[in-house]
Amino acid sequence: MGRVTVRRPVVRVGPEGRRVRPDALVAEEPLEIRVGGRALAVTMRTPGHDVELAHGFLLTEGVIGDRADVAVARYCDGVDDQGRNTYNVLDIALADGVPPPDPGVERNFYTTSSCGVCGKAALDAVRLKTRYSPAADEVRVPVGTLVGLPDVLREKQKLFGSTGGLHGAGLFSSDGEALVVREDVGRHNAVDKVLGWALQQGLVPLRETVLLVSGRASFELVQKAAMAGVPVLAAVSAPSSLAVELAEEQGMTLIGFLRGETMNLYTGDGRVV
Burial class (CB in 10 A: 0-12, 13-18, 19+), 260: exposed
List of residues 6+ apart from 100 with CB closer than 8 A: 35, 36, 38, 63, 94
**pLDDT of res. 85:** 74
User: Is 76 known to be catalytic?
Assistant: no
| pTM (2 d.p.) | 0.89
Report whether pLDDT(125) > 60.
no
Report whether pLDDT(118) > 70.
no
Query: Of 73, 93, 115, 126, which one is the catalytic site residue?
Result: 115
User: For residues 172 and 151, is the Cβ–Cβ distance under 8 A?
Assistant: no
What is the separation of C-alpha 267 from the centre of its chain, rounded to a whole number of angstroms? Answer: 21
pLDDT tens for each residue of 5-44: 788 898 999 999 999 988 888 888 999 999 999 999 999 9
Query: How many residues are there in the chain?
Result: 273
Bridge partners of residue 93, in order along the sequence: 72
In the structure, what pLDDT confidence band is assigned to residue 219 with cuts at 50, 70 and 90? very high
Query: Cα separations (Å) of 68 from 65, 94, 143?
Result: 8, 9, 36
